[in-house]
Amino acid sequence: MVSSLPDFKVANPDLAPEGQKLIEWAEAHMPVLMRIRKRFAREKPLDGLRVGCCLHVTKETAVLVRTLMAGGADVALCGSNPLSTNDAVAAALVEDGAHVFAWRGQDRDEYYWCIRQVLKHEPRLVHDDGADLIVTLHEELSGALKDMICGFEETTTGVLRLKAMERDGILAFPIIA
């Protein structure tokens, strides 16, 4: 059951105030996403949808996560690159109510543990950077594939991996790249 899972694992939750300031700066410089957030807050198009993200945990990604949450989504996030994770931003997103599993400097085992935590939240939509989340979903949780709506991939490397899965007949849901 989703509610019995850990809500987060970040380096230091006390960094949240610093992260909030960084996110506020990014929000001031991302007017299009802020307009979308206002509409999402009114219309709640993602109400109750579980979204799993494996993305760089940066102030810009935080603006996207907050927008998804404003639209009603329950978001679980892990870092797609352990060296790009901003620990203050991760802590701020936890404070905002996101399920964040990310800290700077993870080793390989920790990285995949975080991916598995996101997948344990049973997302119906996934947003990936490099396709590690989507590949792990296919390899380890094939029973969950039937419930997937779609996925998003933002890198050329990830798209190449997903195209290979499609060619092999194992990609189980549509991808927007």
Strand 175-176 and strand 125-128: pairing? unpaired
CA distance 44 to 70: 7
Domain 2-130 has CATH 3.30.465.10: no
Extents of the domains making up the chain? 2-130
Tens place of pLDDT per residue across the chain (177 aa)? 344 456 999 999 999 999 999 999 999 999 999 999 999 999 999 999 999 999 999 999 999 999 999 999 999 999 999 999 999 999 999 999 999 999 999 999 999 999 999 999 999 999 999 999 999 999 999 889 999 999 999 999 999 999 999 999 999 999 999
Could you tell me which of 102, 103, 104 has the C-alpha nearest to residue 133? 102
What long-range pairs does 107-115 form, CB within 8 A, spacing at least 24? 107/82, 110/82, 111/78, 111/79, 111/82, 112/136, 114/9, 114/78, 114/79, 115/54, 115/78
